[in-house]
Structure 1
Amino acid sequence: MSAPAASSATGKRGSTWGGRTQEERRTERRHRLIEAALAIWLENGWAAVTMRGVCTGAGLNDRYFYEHFADRDDLLGTVWDEVCFEVFGELSAVVAEHLDHPPLEILHLAIAKAVALQVDGPARILFADHAGSRILEQRRKATLTDATDLLIATARPYLRPGVDESDFRMSTLMGIGGFTELLTAWRTGAIESDTPRLINHVTRTATLLGTQYLALPT
């Protein structure tokens, strides 16, 4: 009876190395691959992200790439999803922290945060050129829909009675799509503006749209 117990204990010890479990090491490798891909993407664009380059940047052998990702498209989609999750989390936090503010003021703060994230953070990849990547074009369309759903859900408590849902969705989609295109043009130099002016312009435009649907004090 003692021999099997010893074997089991040995197995448990064998599952840890350097104080970490096998699953913890696996999670760390995945994180390193994603971070390496994001660094390359931010520096040189999505097309520069290759399996070999990512593995080199992560300091891992090629075999670890396929431990987590089926191919490069799978990795690109994962990086995009991670960045979107972070961005949506940051924007949701802005709303949650200012629920006692008027809705248009919350909108202004959310716009300012969205601009700041793509200026200084990894959200820059969301406003770059994705032409030639089927997976990223699909992600871009899905993100636009998700952002529309998020803004509608956030605005719902502030809507005036009787708002036409289809009309409101079309206006929201148009607003977010236009905001996305404006940020893309700004990043590529097609539009010249400093950051405060850009934020104020977007806020004014969003206010024109929002006042059609919000129950504002008179």
Structure 2
Amino acid sequence: MPAKAGVWGGRTAAERHAERRQRLIDAATEIWVDSGWAAVTMRGVCARTSLNDRYFYDHFADRDELLATVWDGMKDDLMAKLVTVLTEDSGRPPIETLSKGIAVVVERIAADPGWAQIMFGHHVGSAVLEQRRTAVLHQATDIMVGVAKPFLKPDADVLGLRMDALVGIGGFVELMTAWQSGLLDVDAPDVIDHCSRLGATLAAAYLDTSRAD
């Protein structure tokens, strides 16, 4: 029986196209984890996938677009998990919510060092990655301020809250970078506990925790 039009090896052209794209992304991810983002090149990715450069440029304009795709996929997955955890119980005490959000990130780093290498490794020299690192910092700040708003004291300084949240999240990112790099000899529960206590200290000036009952 002849193959259906557009089908080869049991897969449609669209399926083969998507498969090649995913192979390129997977190869870039593997190289990035092994050797850092700078080692991700068109030639290296094509060599690892046994695809020629024509297929690379079918999917990505250049290396920056490939790097951005890898980063965005991991970032979107993380942010989706964070939003779920942070918004799943609107009546939960805000400090407990903060602690659960911290645990999502810390436990993911502990379980998947390769993921941490991409999300929290050094990206100096890559404008596209530095821009994304900055953007996700502000996105996380927006989420945290939104979660805090129902519990604000009547006279709370919302701008001050935003600045403190930005400082806290930026410091958390740097702590995660140091931890995943092996510069801190501490286990995940201690990291979660330390960051939660620091977050509670920063939040005390703004939140009326009695409203969480």
Tell me the TM-score normalised to structure 1 length: 0.86
Does the 8 Å CA contact 1:175/1:206 hold for their aligned counterparts? yes
Distance 1:107 1:199, change over 3 A: same
Q: Following superposition of structure 1 onto structure 2, how do residues 98-109 of structure 1 map, counting pairs within 5 Å?
A: 98-109=89-100
C-alpha displacement of 1:148: 1.1
Letter in 2 for 1:151: M
C-alpha displacement of 1:97: 3.8
Does the 8 Å CA contact 1:163/1:213 hold for their aligned counterparts? yes
Distance 1:169 1:55, change over 3 A: same
Q: Name the CA distance, whole Å, in 2 between partners of 1:168 and 1:132.
A: 32
CA RMSD in angstroms, aligned pairs only = 2.1
Q: Which residue of structure 1 aligns with residue 64 of structure 2?
A: 73
Moved more, 184-193 or 125-134: 184-193
Does the 8 Å CA contact 2:109/2:180 hold for their aligned counterparts? no
Q: Which has the higher contact order (CA 8 A, sep 6+)?
A: 2
Q: Name the CA distance, whole Å, in 1 between partners of 2:72 and 2:36.
A: 16
Q: Which residue of structure 1 aligns with residue 17 of structure 2?
A: 26
Q: Name the CA distance, whole Å, in 2 between partners of 1:159 and 1:36.
A: 46
State whether structure 2 residue 137 is matched by structure 1 residue 125: no
Which of 45, 52, 57 in structure 1 is aligned with 2:43? 52
Q: Deviations over 1:11-37 (max 9, x none)?
A: x94333334332222222212211111
Q: Name the CA distance, whole Å, in 1 between partners of 2:14 and 2:164.
A: 46
Q: Which residue of structure 2 aligns with residue 163 of structure 1?
A: 156
SS at match of 1:217: helix
SS at match of 2:124: coil
Structure (1 or 2) with the larger CA radius of gyration: 1
Letter in 1 for 2:135: A
Q: Following superposition of structure 1 onto structure 2, how do residues 185-200 of structure 1 map, counting pairs within 5 Å?
A: 185-200=178-193
Moved more, 76-85 or 91-100: 91-100
Letter in 2 for 1:204: R
C-alpha displacement of 1:98: 4.1
Structure 2: state its 5+ residue gaps.
Answer: none
Q: Deviations over 1:98-119 (max 9, x none)?
A: 4443211111111011111223
Letter in 1 for 2:34: E
Which of 144, 151, 154 in structure 1 is aligned with 2:147? 154
